C-alpha cells in the first residue's frame, strides 16, 4: 500500500516535467521555404488558421538569418504561439539555395523525430518565398496545395515516387543520386516542371515533365503516366501527335563488361493505351497500330539515350545504375565506376504493347 502511495506521489510530482504541446495551442507549420539572398538565408513558413471546419486560411511568416539553423527559432519571434514543425508536409528550396547545397537542411530534417519520412521536398525556380506566397494568396487554397500537387502527380502522372525517405536513401546510398520535383512560377500559378537532379546535395540539372515519365519507368514498375509522341503521315505530309497512357511498364537492366567498353542494356516493356489521336489516323487498323507502336518504341529509345547522355554530362546517377552494377560485380568501387561512367554504352530496347484504343469502331 505504501509503495502504491509512493508511486502515485511520484506520478503527481512528474506532472510538472511534462512537455505540453496541445494541438490548438501551437502554430503548426505545413510548408517551409528556404532561400538565399545576398548571403542571408530566408525562411518562409506557411501555417494554417482553421476557420470553418476543413476550410483553412493560409498565413505566411518570413524571417532571415545568416545560418539555416535558427530560421525556425527566429520564426517564433514573430508568432503568438510556439512554432511546431511536426505536421510539416513540404519543404521548398529556392534554386539559388539548392545550388548552394541542401545537405544541412536535409540532415536536420532527417534527425528531427517530429518529422515524418513522407515529407515532400521540392525545388522552386527562382524564390521559394514567391511560390509559397502564390499558393497562399489563391482563394480557397489550402496550405497543403504544393504537397498535394506533388502527391497527385506521383500517384497519377509522370512524377516518379519521392519523399524525404527516398531522398535520404538516394542521398546516402552508394551509386545513386537524389532528385526532387521542380516547380516554376507561371503567371499566377505554380506549375510542376519536372525533376531537379542533385549531385552531392547540390542542384545540378533538371529533366522536363515529359522525360520524367522515362525516369519513372526506368526506376521501377509503374502503372501510370502520359507520354506524347509525334506521328507523321508521309502521304499527307502533315504532322500530328498521339497521346499514350501508360497502363503498366517495367524495365530490366543488364550489365556486361566485355572488352573495353562496358555495356548496359535496358529493356523496357510498356503496355499502353492510346488516349487521343488525330482523326486521320485509323487506329483499329493493324498497320496503323504497328506504325504507332514502332514509332513510339523508336521515340522512347532515342529519348532514353538522350536522357542518359544528359545524366552522363551532368555526372549524376538518379537511376541508381551504380547501385545496380554494384549488385552485379565483386569489389565495386564508387570512384572507379564514376570515372568511367561516361564511357558506358547504353542500349535501350523498348517494347510497346498497345492494348487499348478506346471504344469505337
Nearer to another protein, 22 or 359 (CB): 22
Nearer to another protein, 87 or 303 (CB): 87
Q: How far is CA 132 from the centre of its chain?
A: 17
Nearer to another protein, 122 or 196 (CB): 122
Q: Is 5 in the site for another protein (CB under 8 A)?
A: no
Q: Is 84 in the site for another protein (CB under 8 A)?
A: yes
User: Looking only at residues 104 through 143 of this chain, which bind another protein when binding is defined by CB under 8 A?
Assistant: 114-116
Residue 102: Cβ-neighbour burial (10 angstroms; 0-12, 13-18, 19+): buried
Per DSSP, the residues of 260-289 read SS-EEEEEEEEEEEEEE--TTS-TTSHHHH
| CA 154 – CA 177 distance, rounded (Å) | 19
Out of 5, 14, 80, 359, point to the residue binding another protein (CB under 8 A). Answer: 14
231, HSE (Cβ side, Cα atoms, 13 Å): 28
Nearer to another protein, 47 or 213 (CB): 47
Q: Shortest approach of another protein to residue 8 CB, angstroms?
A: 10
Report yes or no: 185 and 130 within 8 Å, Cβ to Cβ. yes
Q: What are phi and psi of 84, to 5 degrees?
A: -125, 130
User: Looking only at residues 56 through 75 of this chain, which bind another protein when binding is defined by CB under 8 A?
Assistant: 56
Report yes or no: 144 and 58 within 8 Å, Cβ to Cβ. no
Q: Shortest approach of another protein to residue 92 CB, angstroms?
A: 17
Out of 2, 3, 5, 18, point to the residue binding another protein (CB under 8 A). Answer: 18
| CA 185 – CA 207 distance, rounded (Å) | 17
Binding segment for another protein (CB under 8 A), chosen from 13-21, 258-266, 290-298, 322-330, is 13-21
Bridge partners of 354, per DSSP, are 272
Nearer to another protein, 51 or 235 (CB): 51
Nearer to another protein, 32 or 207 (CB): 32
| DSSP designation for 161 | P
User: Looking only at residues 202 through 261 of this chain, which bind another protein when binding is defined by CB under 8 A?
Assistant: none
Binding segment for another protein (CB under 8 A), chosen from 15-23, 119-127, 170-178, 309-317, is 15-23
Out of 54, 187, 259, 360, point to the residue binding another protein (CB under 8 A). Answer: 54
Report yes or no: 281 and 292 within 8 Å, Cβ to Cβ. yes
Give the count of residues interacting with another protein (CB under 8 A): 29
Nearer to another protein, 147 or 222 (CB): 147
Out of 19, 67, 279, 287, point to the residue binding another protein (CB under 8 A). Answer: 19
Report yes or no: 226 and 243 within 8 Å, Cβ to Cβ. yes
CA nearest neighbour of 62 among 128, 156, 153, 144 = 128
Q: Which residues contact 178 (CB under 8 A, 6 or more apart)?
A: 166, 167, 170, 171, 198, 201, 318
141-170 footprint of another protein as x/- string (CB under 8 A): ---x--------------------------
Vertex 245: Cα angle to 240 and 250 (nearest 5)? 125
Q: Is 16 in the site for another protein (CB under 8 A)?
A: no
Nearer to another protein, 30 or 158 (CB): 30
* Residues found near another protein in the complex (CB under 8 A): 11, 14-15, 18-24, 26, 28, 30, 48, 50-56, 84, 86-87, 89, 114-116, 144
Amino acid at each position: 500500500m505504501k509503495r502504491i502511495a509512493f508511486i502515485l506521489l511520484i506520478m503527481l510530482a512528474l506532472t510538472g516535467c511534462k512537455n505540453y504541446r496541445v494541438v490548438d495551442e501551437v502554430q503548426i507549420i505545413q510548408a517551409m521555404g528556404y532561400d538565399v539572398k545576398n548571403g542571408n538565408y530566408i525562411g518562409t513558413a506557411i501555417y494554417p488558421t482553421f476557420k470553418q471546419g476543413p476550410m483553412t486560411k493560409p498565413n505566411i511568416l518570413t524571417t532571415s538569418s545568416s545560418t539555416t539553423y535558427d530560421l525556425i527559432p527566429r520564426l517564433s519571434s514573430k508568432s503568438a504561439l510556439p512554432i511546431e514543425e511536426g505536421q510539416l508536409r513540404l519543404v521548398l528550396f529556392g534554386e539559388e539555395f539548392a545550388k548552394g547545397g541542401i545537405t544541412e537542411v536535409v540532415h536536420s530534417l532527417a534527425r528531427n523525430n517530429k518529422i515524418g519520412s513522407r515529407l515532400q521536398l521540392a525545388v522552386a525556380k527562382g524564390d521559394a518565398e514567391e511560390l509559397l506566397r502564390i499558393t497562399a494568396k489563391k482563394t480557397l487554397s489550402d496550405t497543403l496545395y504544393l504537397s498535394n500537387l506533388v502527391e497527385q502527380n506521383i500517384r497519377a502522372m509522370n512524377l516518379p515516387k519521392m519523399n524525404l525517405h527516398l531522398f535520404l536513401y538516394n542521398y546516402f546510398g552508394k551509386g545513386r543520386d537524389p532528385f526532387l520535383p521542380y516547380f516554376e512560377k507561371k503567371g499566377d500559378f505554380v506549375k510542376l516542371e519536372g525533376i531537379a537532379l542533385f549531385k552531392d546535395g547540390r542542384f545540378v540539372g533538371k529533366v522536363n515533365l515529359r522525360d520524367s515519365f522515362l525516369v519513372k519507368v526506368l526506376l521501377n514498375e509503374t502503372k501510370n503516366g502520359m507520354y506524347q509522341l509525334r506521328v507523321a503521315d508521309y502521304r499527307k505530309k502533315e504532322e500530328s501527335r498521339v497521346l499514350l497512357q501508360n497502363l503498366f511498364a517495367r524495365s530490366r537492366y543488364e550489365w556486361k563488361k566485355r572488352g573495353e567498353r562496358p555495356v548496359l542494356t535496358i529493356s523496357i516493356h510498356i503496355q499502353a493505351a492510346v488516349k487521343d489521336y488525330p482523326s486521320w489516323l485509323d487506329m483499329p487498323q493493324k498497320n496503323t497500330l504497328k506504325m504507332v507502336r514502332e514509332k513510339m518504341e523508336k521515340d522512347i529509345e532515342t529519348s532514353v539515350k538522350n536522357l542518359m547522355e544528359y545524366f552522363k554530362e551532368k555526372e549524376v546517377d538518379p537511376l541508381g545504375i551504380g547501385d545496380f552494377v554494384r549488385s552485379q560485380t565483386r569489389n565495386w568501387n564508387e570512384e572507379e565506376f564514376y570515372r568511367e561512367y561516361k564511357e558506358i554504352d547504353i542500349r535501350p530496347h523498348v517494347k510497346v504493347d498497345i492494348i487499348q484504343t478506346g471504344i469505337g469502331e
